[in-house]
Chains A and B, each alone.
Chain A
Amino acid sequence: GNSVTQMEGPVTLSEEAFLTINCTYTATGYPSLFWYVQYPGEGLQLLLKATKADDKGSNKGFEATYRKETTSFHLEKGSVQVSDSAVYFCALSSGNQFYFGTGTSLTVIP
């Protein structure tokens, strides 16, 4: 079946630190992979996506590369800001269905 396994949180970093949030997946076929972000009190917003192997999605300084050989889609950012504090969800889509990870809460302190 399809599933997403995401790094457990919460994660607390100082401003300008390097961020990695691990995500691995299990899927039949060739899924698309996504990172969504949920700011406090808000809905899910697409952060970035990759639709095929070796694609790199990027947005707002965040990056993730679709690695088929390791079935991973790790989220990275070189220098986090306080405004990046949120919950990050890795997701895959297969057919018309999305499968989300459990979410990783990130808090960035000044």
Chain B
Amino acid sequence: EPEVTQTPSHQVTQMGQEVILRCVPISNHLYFYWYRQILGQKVEFLVSFYNNEISEKSEIFDDQFSVERPDGSNFTLKIRSTKLEDSAMYFCASTRLAGGTDTQYFGPGTRLTVL
């Protein structure tokens, strides 16, 4: 069964450093998403992406965040200058269709620790 993959599984970085989290969505999916889950808290939407541009983004997704689909398979989340409060699990997801009825398939997550 096809699945969403994410790398690395765990990333440790110093405050102020840039990090890039990588995702490979399911190959025939067209819509891509990033979420984050701070330890013990709810899963929060960050951004959705379609046709090489951002469709929607939340208040969390400020100027320090960016997303990119650099090639036909990868979907990346960049955090320009990490802060302690960016420490969280980051989940990538993809769907084949838009409109909300389609199931979002989630990757296993990247645990980001900012020291």
List the interface of chain A (C-beta within 8 A of B). Answer: 31-32, 34, 36, 42-46, 49, 51, 89, 91, 93-103
The prevalent SS among residues of A at the interface is strand
Known: A97-B45, A101-B42. A34 touches B103 (CB 8 A): yes
**In this complex, which of A34, A43, A44, A95 has the most chain B Cβ atoms within 10 angstroms of its Cβ?**
A43
Residues of chain A within 8 A of B56, CB atoms compared: 95-97
A98–B41 contact, CB under 8 A? Answer: no
**11 further interface pairs, Cβ-Cβ under 8 Å (given A36-B106, A51-B101, A96-B50):** A45-B106, A93-B100, A95-B56, A95-B100, A96-B100, A97-B48, A97-B58, A98-B93, A100-B43, A102-B41, A103-B42
A46 to B42, Cβ gap below 8 A? no
Contact (A32, B106) CB under 8 Å given A96-B48, A100-B44 = no
Contact surface of B with A, Cβ cutoff 8 Å: 31, 33, 35, 41-45, 48, 50, 55-56, 58, 91, 93, 98-101, 103-109
CB nearest to A36 among chain B residues = B106
Residue in A31, A43, A101 whose CB lies within 8 Å of B100: A31
Task: Give the complex CA separation of A51 and B99 in angstroms.
Answer: 11
B91: nearest chain-A partner, CB-CB: A43
A98 touching B101 by the CB < 8 A rule? no
- CB-CB nearest in chain B for A102: B42
The listed residue with most B CB atoms (<10 A of its CB), out of A36, A49, A89, A93, is A93
Task: Assess A46 versus B105: contact at CB under 8 Å? Given A94-B100, A95-B56.
Answer: yes
